[in-house]
Amino acid sequence: MTTTMYTARPIAPRALEELRTTDDAGHPTVPFTDAEGGAPLRCCLRRGGPGERIALVSYAPLRRWAAETDATPGAYDEVGPVFIHAEPCEGPAGAGLPFTNAHRTVRRYCAQGHILGGRLVEEPDAFGKALIEAFDDPAVALVHVRAVEYGCFLYEVRRDYEGGRG
């Protein structure tokens, strides 16, 4: 029997390298020092601290996934703002699902990159159930977790299988 688990995926290192120069909307990246901290960083899936050098960049998560898989998201390809460290960082410190302390949407996509639906998750302890429900549908290829307030992309989730990624 295969055990299915779910892992939050930060922005991939190669994409981060590119985004630190030019973002997915073609704009040059402009780093700044975050005086207050608290920005949700998509490179390491944690909140930034005061004084960290970060950048706000336009990111196209579905477009980048589609390039890996030959999907054709068409009109579902979108670009939105995300925070990243201005310089390479250590990446996520541990497993688990970050940024679950507020209302989030779990948006499901098929292998072609089209939206299959979504679910509002209002309680932190409901994330596991929402992912199980999403991936119970064999047509779901990946899930995006997004902030409700602004619709911003937080991270991607794909199926993980015991002994390796699926």
3-state secondary structure of 19: helix
The reply to whether 2 falls in a domain is no
Q: Are 145 and 155 in contact (CB under 8 A)?
A: yes
3-state secondary structure of 41: strand
Do 13 and 60 lie in one domain? The reply is yes
Report the candidate in 70, 45, 41 with the shortest Cα–Cα distance to residue 53: 41
At position 74, the amino acid (one-letter code) is G
Domain boundary among 28, 57, 85: 85
Predicted confidence (pLDDT) per residue in 26-83, tens digit: 999 999 999 999 999 999 999 999 999 999 999 999 999 999 998 999 999 999 999 9
Which whole number is the average pLDDT over 126-149? 92
Angle at 24 between CA 99 and CA 19, to 5 degrees: 70
| Phi-psi region at 74: left, alpha or beta (left = phi > 0; alpha = psi -120 to 50) | left
Number of domains in the chain: 2
Do 110 and 78 lie in one domain? The reply is no
pLDDT for 149 equals 87
Do 40 and 108 lie in one domain? The reply is no
CB neighbours of residue 146 within 10 Å: 20
Residues β-bridged to residue 56: 83
- Per-position b or e across 52-64, b if 16+ CB within 10 A of its CB: bebbbbbbbbbbb
Q: Are 48 and 87 in contact (CB under 8 A)?
A: no
Enter the pTM of the model.
0.89
Q: Which domain holds residue 31?
A: 7-85
Domain boundary among 58, 85, 112: 85
